[in-house]
Chains A and B, each alone.
Chain A
Amino acid sequence: MTKHHSTISRRDFMKTLGLGSVGLGMSALVAPAFHDLDEMMASPMADFKRPSWVKETNKPTVDIDWKLMGQDPYDGSDCMWEKGYVKAVGETVANAIKAQGAENRIKWIKEKRPGFTDKDWAFNASRRFFQTPDYLNPGNQTFLGPQTAPTLTSMGLPRYEGTPEENARMVRTFLKVHGCSEVAFCELDTNTTEKILYKCDAAGIPYFIRDQDQPEEVIDPNGKSYRVIPKRARSVIVYTMRMAPELLRRVPTYLSYRAAFIIYEQQCLTQSWLQQFMRALGYMCLGWHRITSSLGSTTGFGVMAGLGEMGRTQHLITPEHGQTERVFCAITDMPLAPGRPIDFGAFNFCKTCKKCAELCPSRSMSTDTEPTWEKRGFYQRSGVKAWWRYEPGCRSWMYNVDNSCGKCISVCPFSKLYKAPYHDVVREISSNTTLLNRFLRQMDDFLGFGARPEEDFEKFWDMDVPPWGYE
C-alpha cells in the first residue's frame, strides 16, 4: 500500500475559507513551488489530458498485421542511416553521392549559400558531443544505463512500490521536468506490441527476450554480441522531445540538421537521468545504447501508447506538436498504466493532404491516397499498412545536400506552433469529419504555411529565439 501526504496547499485552504480576495492577492506574490515529488505528481504536470477532439480507440488508425510483423521482424541495421543504404544502392553509388555531398559542402560555404554559410556549418558541427548515454565513457554503448545511482535496496530499504497509475504519473512528472514534452506508456504483449521491438540494433547486435531475472548485455569484438530483455519487463515508456520549429522550417540546411541532433544528444542526458531514477527506485530501465539506435519502432510504440497517429511520412503526428517532436522509448519492469491508441483525424487527413509527398525534393514519398501493405524494400518492416517511402532516394538526397532534410515534417499541416485559434478550429473540424480535409489543405497553402523561403534562412540569426528554440 502506498502512502502519500495531502497535497492541499495552504493557498487552496485559504481560498476555501472564503478569503478569496486576500488569498488571490497573496498568491500573486507567491510563485508556485513544489515541496516534493508527491506534490509534483498531484499537479497538472503529471496529467495527460487531451482536448475533446482527441478520441481514444481500441484499435490504432493504422492497420497492423501482428502475425506478419512477427514473422519478419525488423533488423535495425537495415535502416538508411546504417548499412541499409549501401545494401540498397551499392558501394559505388553510395560513395559517389557522398563525395558529391562533400563537394557541395565546400562549394556552398564558399558561395555563402543561405543555410550553408560557414556560420551555419559550424552551428551543425557543434554536434557529436553526446553520442552515447554513457558520456563518462565515450564509446561505451550500453542499454543498461550509467548504473551509478545509489539504490533504496542498497541502504536496506525496500524498493519503491506504487500502483500503475501512480507510477505513470511519477515517471511522466520526472521526464517532463527533465525536458520531455509528452509521455505515455505501452504494455508489451507477446502477441502484439512485443513485435514492435527490433530483432537487432543499428549495429546488428541482436535483442532477445528471455525468461530471466536481469537484463544482459554482451559486447564481443568477435561478433557474438547480444542483449537480453527480461520477459518480466513489460512496460514501455514512450516520450517525446520538441525540436526548434524555426530551425525545422529552414530546410534543407545545416540549420534544420541541427534541430534533430540537439534532441538526439539531449536524449542521451534525459535517458541517463531516467535510467538512474528508475535504478534508484529499484527497477531496470533499458534504453538506447547510442543515439539514433532505438530498441524498436518509436512510431509504433507511440501509436500504441496513444501519443499520436502515424502519418504519411511514417513518423508520429501528435495532437500537441504535429511532427515537430522526436520520439524515444525505454523498457522497464515497473508497472505503468498503459495508454490506448488515439484518433484525431491525422491518418485520414494524410489520405487527401499529400503535402509532404508533393513537396518532397527527392520525390521519394508515395502520393497514393490509400496506404498499402506492399513495402518498397528490405529496409522497411512488414505488417504495417503505410505510405511507403523510397528510402534510398530520400537518403541519397540527404547525402547530396549534406544534411538530414526533413522537409516532409516541416510542411505537414499538423506541424504548427498552435498559438492562433485558427489551428484549434482546423483540428476540431479535421478530427470530426473528413469532408473539409481538401479545403483545409488548400487553406494551409493559401496562408503560406510550410517551410521558410530561402531568403528567410539567415534571418534566423537575428531572431529573438526562446531557450531551446521553442516556447
Chain B
Amino acid sequence: MWLIIGLIIGAGLLAWVYWIRERHVKITWYEWLLGIIGLMVLLFAIENFTKFLAEHETRAAWRFLLIAGLPSLMLLSLYFLLPWRRHHKAG
C-alpha cells in the first residue's frame, strides 16, 4: 500500500513542481510549510486508519480519519489555493 502511495505522491509532486515552474507560480516558505505539514498529517491519518482496522478498532479508525484527515485536507487546500489565487490576481 505504501509503495503505491509513495509512487502517487512522487508522481504528483513531480507534476506539481513542473506545473508551478511552467506558470512561474511563486510559493512562499510558509505555504510550503503548510503543505508539508498537511501531507504528513494526511499520511499519519491514513496509516492510523489502516492500522486501527488491523486492530479491529473500526470506530477508532473512522473517527481518527475524521479528526486528523479533515485538518490535513484543509491545510493542503490552503497550500494549493493561496498561491493559485495570488497567481490569478497577478494575472
Contact = CB atoms under 8 A, between A and B. Distances in A.
B63 A420 contact: no
A421 B63 CA distance: 15
A20 B56 CA distance: 39
Contact of B51 (A246, A419, A463): A419
Contacts of A417: 54-55
A419 B59 contact: no
Contacts of B64: 422, 447
B60 to A, nearest CB: 4
Contact of B60 (A246, A421, A449, A463): A449
Interface string B46-90: 011001101111011001100000000000000000000000000
Contacts of A447: 52, 57, 59-60, 63-64
Interface in A446-466: 446-449, 463
A420 B57 CA distance: 10
A178 interface: no
Contacts of A441: none
Contacts of A234: none
Contacts of A246: 56
A416 interface: yes
Contact of A421 (B51, B56, B57): B51
Nearest to B60: A447
B76 to A, nearest CB: 20
Nearest to A419: B51
A420 B51 CA distance: 5
Contacts of B51: 419-422
B63 A448 contact: yes
25 contacts: A417-B54, A417-B55, A419-B52, A419-B54, A419-B55, A420-B48, A420-B51, A420-B54, A420-B55, A420-B57, A420-B60, A421-B44, A421-B51, A422-B48, A422-B52, A447-B52, A447-B57, A447-B60, A447-B63, A448-B59, A448-B60, A448-B63, A449-B57, A449-B60, A463-B56
A333 B88 CA distance: 80
Contacts of A416: 55
Contacts, number: 38
The size bracket of the interface on A is 10 to 19
Nearest to B49: A420
Contacts of A420: 47-48, 51-52, 54-55, 57, 60
Secondary structure call for the B interface: helix
Contacts of B60: 420, 447-449
Interface residues of B, number: 13
Q: Which 10 A-B pairs have the closest CB atoms?
A: A448-B59, A420-B51, A447-B60, A417-B55, A419-B51, A420-B48, A422-B48, A420-B52, A419-B54, A419-B55
A419 B64 CA distance: 14
A412 to B, nearest CB: 15
Contacts of B47: 420-421
Interface string A415-452: 01101111000000000000000000000001111000
Given A420-B52, A420-B57, A448-B59, 14 more contacts: A417-B55, A419-B52, A420-B51, A420-B60, A421-B44, A421-B48, A421-B51, A422-B51, A446-B63, A447-B52, A447-B57, A447-B63, A448-B63, A449-B60
Interface string B7-34: 0000000000000000000000000000
A447 B54 CA distance: 15
B16 to A, nearest CB: 26
Nearest to A249: B56
Contacts of A449: 57, 60
A449 B44 CA distance: 19
A348 B1 CA distance: 38
Contacts of B52: 419-420, 422, 447
A420 B52 CA distance: 6
A448 B44 contact: no
B57 A448 contact: yes
Interface in A371-422: 416-417, 419-422
Chain B CB within 10 Å — which of A420, A421, A447 has the most?
A420
A421 B44 CA distance: 8
Contacts of A446: 63
Nearest to A448: B59
A446 B44 CA distance: 18
Contacts of B48: 420-422
Contacts of B63: 446-448
Nearest to B63: A447
A439 to B, nearest CB: 13
Contacts of B54: 417, 419-420
A449 B54 CA distance: 14
A369 to B, nearest CB: 27
Interface string A152-177: 00000000000000000000000000
